[in-house]
Amino acid sequence: MKSLYDFIVQPLGDKYSNAIKIGGKDIVVNTKIENWKFVNRLAIVKETPLAFKTKVKQGDIIVIHQNVFRTFYDMRGVKKKSRSYFKDDLYFCAIDQMYLYKNQEGWHSFGDRCFIKPVKDTNDLTLDKEKKLIGILKYGNSSLEALNINPGNLVGYTPNGEWEFLIEGERLYCMKSNDIVIKYENEGNEVEYNPSWASSGGGIN
């Protein structure tokens, strides 16, 4: 059973991540299905598309768009499954809804996506905890490699192109390659910034 153009995926865990763990206890932080920030974005690949070859294999874990598993209410107030729903606990996932995948070698960006790690703002004159529009490249891609922009490089990116993700307790920003506009010379004193709630497993994933 294969789709021509889409991956067939299964949620990794529940479809919503509505609780965080604090002091060994689960604290409910969301009770509404409309809140997309708490939709689970982790899936297991069950089948790959027939129409093209991909490095993503059956059993790989992928990071996907929140709408794949997102439940909604129709105009009559009836609760509906995602439009990507296939059957049982399986869903279709288009290639433009995939951002990152994990195999035995670790995490890899998918397509033209990349992931940026925020850095701490150490300026005593500001209340900001992280620097704006600057970060460390965590997961790159072939387009960036061709420009000699590699993981670990300090880069600048355009505003409003980044999407927040929580990957294994680490908050990252996902964006497209053309959102990266500057490669900085590393000062050597950049400190990665990860808010305390991220390591607790709260918010989004």
Q: For the chain, what are the domain ranges?
A: 1-111, 112-205
**What pLDDT was estimated at residue 62?**
96
Q: Which tokens belong to 21? A: 């763990």
Tell me the CA distances in angstroms from 183 to 154, 161, 164, 187, one per residue in order. Answer: 6, 17, 21, 12
Q: What is the pLDDT of residue 151?
A: 95
In the DSSP assignment, the letter for residue 140 is -
The residues of the chain scoring below 70 in pLDDT are 14-39, 187, 197, 199-205
pLDDT for position 203: 43
Q: Which element (helix H / strand E) includes 42?
A: strand 42-47
Tell me, what's the pLDDT at 154? Answer: 95
Q: How far apart are CA 120 and CA 99, in angstroms?
A: 25
Q: Which two tokens stand for residue 31?
A: 């009770």
User: What is the distance between the alpha carbons of residues 164 and 185, in angstroms, rounded to a whole number?
Assistant: 25
Report field, pTM of the whole predicted structure over 0.85: no
| Dihedral Cα 131, 136, 142, 147, nearest 10 deg | 70
Q: pLDDT at position 96, please?
A: 94
Rounded to 5 degrees, what are φ and ψ at 99?
Answer: -125, -30
Q: What is the CATH number of domain 112-205?
A: 2.30.33
pLDDT (0 to 100) of residue 32: 55
In the block, tokens 């969301």 appear at 30
In contact, 112 and 143? CB cutoff 8 Å: yes
Instruction: Map residue 33 onto helix, strand or coil.
Output: coil
Unique residue bearing structure tokens 């990266």: 180
Q: Are 92 and 62 in contact (CB under 8 A)?
A: no
Q: How much is the pLDDT for 26? A: 58
3-state SS class at 199: helix
- pLDDT, residue 122, reads 82
Give the pLDDT of residue 15. 58
